[in-house]
A = this chain, B = another copy of it.
Amino acid sequence: MTDSHPRLPVEVESADCRAISDILSRVGDKWTVLVVEILGTGPSRFNELRRQVGGISQKMLTTTLRQLERDGMVRRTVTATIPPRVDYELTDLGRDLLVPVHALGDWARANMAKIESARLRFDEEAES
């Protein structure tokens, strides 16, 4: 492959390392990306979101949204009517996150066949 492979800054400050792996762990989270993807199509209310995600528990949706709100990715708007109404929407930062996440998603889709066959080969050779 290209000789100009990016030289890796293994010596980045550990503070950066923590912060970066922190973001990465959110992307790897079971629900976060799914929620952000859906909010990427437009604002949504709590139970609406719950239905759109499908399979998420109330607890985890709350937790996920709180984290995203805390990180400034999601804006929470409360309308104090009866019954109460709460809207969630992505902030600019949240929408921004979708760019690199989609890049990763595209890579995954483009290479899932290779990965799948690699796994088959590996598991096959593990017959013992």
Chain A residues packing against B (C-beta within 8 Å): 1-2, 5-10, 16, 19-30, 33-34, 37-38, 40-42, 52, 69-72, 92-93, 95-109, 111-112, 114-119, 121-123
* Majority-rule SS of A interface residues: helix
Which residue of B has the minimal Cβ distance to A31? B21
Contacts of A16 in B (CB 8 A): 109, 112
For residue A104, which residues in chain B have a CB less than 8 angstroms away from its CB?
Answer: 23-24, 27, 100-101, 103-104
- Report copies per complex: 2
- A70 contacts across to B, CB distance below 8 A: 118-119, 122-123
Task: Give the residue name and chain of the B residue nearest to A36 (CB).
Answer: B8
* Cβ contact within 8 Å between B72 and A115: yes
A42 to B42, CA, bound (A): 44
Q: Which residue of B lies closest to A53 (CB)?
A: B10
**Taking A5-B42, A10-B41, A93-B115 as contacts, is the C-beta distance between A24 and B33 under 8 angstroms?**
yes
Residues from chain B with Cβ under 8 Å of A38 in the complex: 8, 10
